[in-house]
Structure 1
Amino acid sequence: MSDQPVIREGYAPFGNNQTWFRVTGDLSSAKTPVVIAHGGPGCTHDYVDSFKDLALNGRAVIHYDQIGNGKSTHLPNASQDFWTIELFLSELDNLTRHLGIRSRYNLLGQSWGGMLGSEHAIRRPSGLNALVLASSPSSMPVWVAEALRLRSALPQDVQDTLALHEANGDYDHPDYQAASDVFYRHHVCRLPVWPDEVNRTFAALAADPTVYHAMNGPTEFHVIGSLKDWSVVDRLPLIDVPTLVISGRYDEATEACVEPFVRLIPNSRQVMMENSAHMCHVEERQQTMAFVEAFLGEQD
């Protein structure tokens, strides 16, 4: 185990905007650095902060807030069609270029970050060394169908409350929020007390839901944004780097969501975290880091 890694924060100019990033560790290390792409769309790096643990073994870890989120430039008045997959792919390319790692890097995407990661990988960028897809869907129609299936197993009074307020379009009602929280406690994070970094992300998403509303929609159950018909399934055979697919037994990214990654990416393997939902990096932190580091270590 090395000494505590050095931490450096900064901004990568991206057009007229700024992408905030943080590097934990030394980019000149012999180990290939890993970029962490957070979920949402519209979340922040906070809830995936734990992946900085990978730097304790000498691997540089790059967190960043995608444009519109966290410490990066917010654009609450941008039109809905501004927020595209291509925008975030360009931002990722810009970041690796700015940090001087474009010739060799790993990419770990969590949830929406894995959707972005798979889109990045099918383009076969020359510097991409390995890919980790953590609790990510391969198809949004399947994701929504599975969310509704999981929801149908919730207590009937919870289902009735969700349906009542959805009929009125009253997604901000306290009762609707409380009923949604029951789903989250089953399928997003099963820890009895959520860590501060997870709460910070949810607070940030509530404070500025611009990206989430544009690309996803009002809730996990009503995907009416630009991603509603998205699927990468038919393009997965194009991914030509070693890929780790990791998810939780109780994950809202169910087996049906992740199975195409395992079946169709030529050099892929799967890990199921038996005591986790959608945030195994929080729920089973130490074990998750061990699996990810072992996989990335093989690719060094």
Structure 2
Amino acid sequence: MLGAEIAVRRPAGLASLAICNSPAAMPLWSEAADALRAQLPGEIRDALERHEADGTYDDPEYIAAAHEYDRRHVVRLPEMPQDYVDSVAQMEADPTVYHTMNGPNEFHVIGSLRDWTVVDRLDRIAVPTLVLAGEFDEAQPIVWRPFVERIPDVREAVVPDASHCTHLEKPEEFLGIIAGFLAENDRS
């Protein structure tokens, strides 16, 4: 999101842009999350809805239900990678920024970014751009399709059998795609 915001301003020296697992607009993100939530088992959906209505995001039932969403669309590995565990621990140690800007988790966006969009400015991006996502990513095609449709010089890559943490689930494939893109666009 930040990369797109910077790129639309066309800063000097920007040679290329890689947008990985990111939305072009938070309303699209919420729409995709709602569709993914609708695919969860009924008891999980009920727990999410009940606790969100009550604001009881720290209830163990809500945490367990949120974990099921994450298991399907954020990290699809049998064990959570240590990098992911560490990242979550850092956010939980001081959730002020994440909770203020996003909300309590990835799929219940109620923070200050809930209406953010860069869609109407994407045609200003004037550098080669890569848009990458995972097949089972919470960043569903609806959230990144505006990048592909509106940025003049763009290519897309969807990593099979990966979700939002493509870089942790399929690191060699992820790095290969990124390295290839950067090598094509190296202006040194």
Pairwise TM-score range, normalised by the shorter structure: over 0.9
Residues 163-191 of structure 1: CA deviation (Å, up to 9, x unaligned): 12122210001110010000000000101
Residues 203-228 of structure 1: CA deviation (Å, up to 9, x unaligned): 11111101011111223333222111
Please show how residues 65-144 of structure 1 align to structure 2 within 5 Å. Answer: 115-144=1-30
Larger radius of gyration: 1
Q: Where does structure 2 lack aligned partners over 5 or more consecutive residues?
A: none
Residues 25-81 of structure 1: CA deviation (Å, up to 9, x unaligned): xxxxxxxxxxxxxxxxxxxxxxxxxxxxxxxxxxxxxxxxxxxxxxxxxxxxxxxxx
Could you tell me which of 74, 90, 93 is aligned with 1:188?
Answer: 74
Counterpart residue number, 1:64: none
Could you tell me which of 271, 288, 293 is aligned with 2:174?
Answer: 288
- What amino acid maps onto 1:279 in structure 2? C
- What amino acid maps onto 1:171 in structure 2? Y
Please show how residues 199-238 of structure 1 align to structure 2 within 5 Å. Answer: 199-238=85-124
1:247 is paired with a residue whose SS is: strand
Counterpart residue number, 2:162: 276
Q: Residue 256 of structure 1: CA displacement?
A: 0.3
Residues 226-280 of structure 1: CA deviation (Å, up to 9, x unaligned): 1111111110000001000000011111000010101110000000001101011
- What amino acid maps onto 2:71 in structure 1? R
Could you tell me which of 114, 126, 139 is aligned with 1:240?
Answer: 126
Q: Which runs of 4+ in 1 moved over 6 A?
A: none
Distance across 1 between alignment mates of 2:141 and 2:111: 24
Distance across 2 between alignment mates of 1:295 and 1:214: 34
Q: Residue 160 of structure 1: CA displacement?
A: 1.1
Distance across 2 between alignment mates of 1:194 and 1:219: 17
2:16 is paired with a residue whose SS is: strand
Q: Which has the higher strand share?
A: 1
Residues 219-228 or 157-166, more deviating = 219-228
Distance across 2 between alignment mates of 1:186 and 1:198: 15
The answer to whether the Cα contact below 8 Å between 1:217 and 1:223 also exists between their aligned partners in 2 is yes
- What amino acid maps onto 2:161 in structure 1? N
2:113 is paired with a residue whose SS is: coil
Q: Which has the higher helix share?
A: 2
Distance across 2 between alignment mates of 1:212 and 1:268: 29
Distance across 1 between alignment mates of 2:31 and 2:173: 30
The answer to whether the Cα contact below 8 Å between 1:119 and 1:232 also exists between their aligned partners in 2 is yes
- What amino acid maps onto 1:192 in structure 2? P
- Cα RMSD between the aligned structures? 0.9
Residues 134-176 of structure 1: CA deviation (Å, up to 9, x unaligned): 0000010110011011001001111111112122210001110
Distance across 1 between alignment mates of 2:142 and 2:85: 28
Counterpart residue number, 1:263: 149
1:165 is paired with a residue whose SS is: helix
- What amino acid maps onto 1:250 in structure 2? F
Q: Residue 297 of structure 1: CA displacement?
A: 0.3
TM-score of the pair, normalised by structure 1? 0.61
The answer to whether the Cα contact below 8 Å between 1:144 and 1:220 also exists between their aligned partners in 2 is no
Q: Where does structure 1 lack aligned partners over 5 or more consecutive residues?
A: 1-114
Structure of greater relative contact order (alpha carbons < 8 Å, 6+ residues apart): 2
Aligned residue pairs total 186
